[in-house]
Amino acid sequence: MKHMPFIVFLVLISLTPVSAQETDQVQEAVQAQETFSGVTRTYGIDYNEKYRSPFSIGLEYQSLSPVTISYEEEYRINDFRLKGVYSFKSLPQLQPYAGLGIKLMSPLKAVESGDAERFANNTFYGFAGISYVHKFNKQFEAGGDLYLGIGQSVFPNIDLIDEESRGAVEFISGAGVRGAFNISYNFSLNVTPSLMYSRSLSPLERFNGFYFGLGFGVAYRVGTDPDDPRAEIRSIRFGEFDLPPLFASMQSFYSKNAIGQIELTNIEKFPIYDVNVNFMQAGYMDAPTKAAAIDEIPSGETVTLDIYAAYNQEVFSIEGIAPLTAELSVSYTARGNAGSQIQTVSYDLHDKEALTWDDDKKMAAYITPSDSALRNYASFVRQSARDVLNPGLNEAFQAGLQIYYGLTEIGCIYQKDPTTPFDAAQENPLVIDKVSLPRSTLKRGTGDCDDLTALYCSLLESVGIETAFITTPGHIYAAFNTKEQVRNYQQIHPDKSRTITIDDELWVPVEITLIGTLGFDQAWKVGADEFSKYDDDIEKRAFYRTRDAQQIYRPVGLKETDLGLQYGERATLARSVNQATKDHVNTIIAHYDQVAREKDSKSGYNTLGTICTQFGEYNRAEQAFNYALALDRNYLPSKMNLANIMFLKGQYQNALRLYHSVEQDYLSRSRTSSAAFSRVILSLSRCYYELQNFDQAAEYAGQLQELNPALLQEYPYLIRDGVSEAAGESR
């Protein structure tokens, strides 16, 4: 019953009304809410971490009662301790401690023997131990203790000859539990029931054994209440943080390239650690964009960090200019306490059609081959011109020509931008220009040089043709890759200067602004002249491959809708493409014709005939081969080529006569083992087959089987209908 007043005191404390602020804090312990970008997230608080104090000092009192010790005297035993406690940052529940104590043992009443008075003693001791304490909320915590100690017991009333016998070294250990009520962050009251074991290391063993203790303590905890507004840590000073106008079209670029820089200065007299910097734009980011993570910023030092912005697809919904306010947040640890600071910044975010020309490669962001509207239109153009394709002409070249006339057919024309023409915007990177999306240009039917270049390149890329864009002072225009090797430039155009050589491949430049006014060939020539104009000053022009530039500037996001576009008349488009294709083929043939006439040689006319054959001009090819044979009637290449022309024209008897003539020439020269002779035998077999003379066809197929069976495999009908029948007759 002697401990009852103290217990009542503790109960009264625990029932003390809690203030409104403390009630809010208790509710905060149930849940914490973080509102970011309009989204509220709820999660539990780790009270041990939030309300951790790195160090505390306390005074404890316990009243001890013997448990295993039996003696006649009755003693009052009071224990007082001064204790310092440390809390681990990584595991705040685990708290090592150390301190000093004094145990006072005095008799409750005098007895006849006088032993009670004689053996009264004081023990001075030091101790160290460890606690595990868990915080249930900000006010209440509980845990357990283990400790060891050693001290010196002094018996002042023992009167013996040997003065040293008045004292004894004593070993102390103990364990206990504790419950604490935190009056505030810095002050707490605790109840400490425990079990102590004491053992003397001298003959004075009268008080060896276990004691039960019950008491209380008060503690002061170092630190500032994190719930106190005055406790907000301000260890960072922000430098100037201004953002230039940003552009939705550069969405992919900003995630990997800095939008700005910020200077952070540690204004404390000690280093700060674990510094994390994030940039957040509510509504246009799914999560904050991490700028940097720094392990340490020493006292007084300044760091400069690049800031990035990973915008989501919502930026493409902006129309015009959106004035925005973003947050730059910095979190860190200062002297074991978590700190965070926020800096806001206002800036303008422009829609997806706006940009500045500080880097010409930005054009790549507006080339959108994945747009279904463009793919559908390009497919319409290719299908419309399908019947007028020339199999001998470069496929990519024909695609470029077809797309050009397709845009012409729907009335697409050049129109200079009245507000920010390209030449003015290019000269001043601070001027904000507008580049229309290709789908918008296609629907509107007009655009300036950058709009039309983006449209033309997008359409070609949508059908698999690689494109590029060329910039010269005040201008931008398109080019596409024919994939033709440089040595074959005459297959594209006799004038090599009409093409651009990149990595041993021939590119065709097209001045797309001439659409609707001049034909493809003139637009091509003007583009080539514009490029060669700067051969002596190449720093004034630049050639950008679209696919390379899009590694930096990915195409802008699109909201695909039906354009309701009128594609134009198929027949009219086909006629335009057919005429332009014929004109171009005639240009190539005319070049070879001129060369043949100038040389007046059989090889020159043979080459001319070969080119005419390639482009399907069989009559002109026949005429060229006859010219060559007129110069040398035994000239085998032209004789064989002429026979092939007869075969292609269906004149099989004339072809057969020439093939036999060539055959006799090879036989007379004993050149029957050559690959060319095998081709002659194959031609004879095919010619007899077309004349329905299957016996002769089979005979020559049989010869070819012996000479070159692999070549015969390319014509399985001869094997099936020729060799098999011949084999049957031989049986």
The tens digit of pLDDT for each residue in 638-675 reads 999 999 999 999 999 999 999 999 999 999 888 888 88
Residue 706 has pLDDT above 80, yes or no: yes
CA distance 33 to 138: 17
Mean pLDDT computed over 6-18: 39
**What's the pLDDT at 37?**
36
Q: Which of 520, 546, 571 is the last residue of a domain?
A: 571
Same structural domain, 342 and 361: no
- Give residue 431's Cα distance to chain centre: 29
CA distance 479 to 510: 6
The CATH number for 707's domain is: 1.25.40
Same structural domain, 538 and 685: no
- Percent of the chain past pLDDT 70, that is, above it, reads 87
What are the helix (H) ranges across 206-307? Answer: 251-254
Q: Which of 132-146, 201-215, 287-301 has the lowest mean pLDDT?
A: 201-215
Residue 230 has pLDDT above 90, yes or no: no
The CATH number for 246's domain is: 2.60.40.2550
- Percent of the chain past pLDDT 90, that is, above it, reads 63
Which of the four pLDDT bands, split at 50, 70 and 90, describes residue 338? Answer: confident
Mean pLDDT computed over 566-584: 92
**What's the pLDDT at 411?**
92
Same structural domain, 114 and 135: yes
**What's the pLDDT at 6?**
41
Same structural domain, 673 and 707: yes
Same structural domain, 391 and 532: yes
Same structural domain, 159 and 63: yes
Residue 435 has pLDDT above 70, yes or no: yes
Q: Which of 46-60, 466-480, 604-618 has the lowest mean pLDDT?
A: 46-60
**What's the pLDDT at 484?**
96
Q: Which of 316, 350, 384 is the last residue of a domain?
A: 350
Same structural domain, 193 and 77: yes
Residues contacting 166, CB < 8 A, separation 6+: 154, 155, 156, 158, 160
Same structural domain, 17 and 166: yes
**What's the pLDDT at 32?**
37
Pick the more confident residue, 164 or 13. Answer: 164
The answer as to whether 393 is a domain residue is yes
Which of the four pLDDT bands, split at 50, 70 and 90, describes residue 725? Answer: very low
**What's the pLDDT at 425?**
57
The answer as to whether 628 is a domain residue is no
Residues contacting 682, CB < 8 A, separation 6+: 700, 704, 708, 711, 712, 715
Mean pLDDT computed over 323-331: 94
Q: Mind listing the pLDDT tens digit for each residue in 70-102?
A: 766 677 889 999 999 999 888 899 999 999 999
Contact 291, 305 (CB under 8 A): yes
Same structural domain, 246 and 299: yes
Q: Which of 350, 378, 407 is the last residue of a domain?
A: 350
**What's the pLDDT at 687?**
94
pTM of the model: 0.67
**What's the pLDDT at 225?**
76
Residue 13 has pLDDT above 60, yes or no: no
Same structural domain, 341 and 383: no
**What's the pLDDT at 509?**
98
Contact 263, 240 (CB under 8 A): yes
Of 247, 269, 271, which Cα lies nearest the Cα of 259? Answer: 247
Residue 18 has pLDDT above 70, yes or no: no
Number of domains in the chain: 4
User: How does the average pLDDT of the chain come out, rounded?
Assistant: 86
Mean pLDDT computed over 480-487: 96
Which of the four pLDDT bands, split at 50, 70 and 90, describes residue 564? Answer: confident
Q: Tell me if residue 554 falls in helix, strand or coil.
A: coil
Q: Identify the H or E element spanning 557.
A: none
**What's the pLDDT at 228?**
67
Structure-token pair, residue 280: 């957040």
Mean pLDDT computed over 185-195: 91
* CB atoms closer than 10 angstroms to residue 181: 16
Q: Which of 343-352, 419-428, 492-501, 585-594 has the lowest mean pLDDT?
A: 419-428
Mean pLDDT computed over 417-446: 77
Same structural domain, 109 and 22: yes
Q: Which of 34-43, 55-64, 77-86 has the lowest mean pLDDT?
A: 34-43
Which of the four pLDDT bands, split at 50, 70 and 90, describes residue 554? Answer: very high
DSSP class per residue in 684-705: HHHHHHHTT-HHHHHHHHHHHH
**What's the pLDDT at 34?**
39
Pick the more confident residue, 623 or 39. Answer: 623
Domain that holds residue 273: 232-350
**What's the pLDDT at 550?**
95
Mean pLDDT computed over 680-701: 92
The answer as to whether 385 is a domain residue is yes
DSSP 8-state secondary structure symbol assigned to residue 721: I
The answer as to whether 299 is a domain residue is yes
The answer as to whether 658 is a domain residue is yes
Q: Which of 65-74, 98-107, 331-340, 621-630 has the lowest mean pLDDT?
A: 65-74
Structure-token pair, residue 682: 């194959």
CA distance 277 to 308: 10
Residues contacting 200, CB < 8 A, separation 6+: 153, 168, 169, 170, 171, 207, 208
Q: Mind listing the pLDDT tens digit for each residue in 43-53?
A: 357 888 878 88
CA distance 637 to 662: 9
Same structural domain, 286 and 372: no
The answer as to whether 577 is a domain residue is no
The answer as to whether 177 is a domain residue is yes
Q: Tell me if residue 669 falls in helix, strand or coil.
A: coil
The answer as to whether 578 is a domain residue is no
Mean pLDDT computed over 498-506: 96
Contact 343, 331 (CB under 8 A): no
**N-terminal to C-terminal alpha carbon distance within the chain:** 130
The CATH number for 59's domain is: 2.40.160.20
The CATH number for 445's domain is: 3.10.620
Q: At what angle do helices 636-648 and 618-631 cross, to 10 degrees?
A: 150
Which of the four pLDDT bands, split at 50, 70 and 90, describes residue 728? Answer: very low
Residue 712 has pLDDT above 80, yes or no: yes
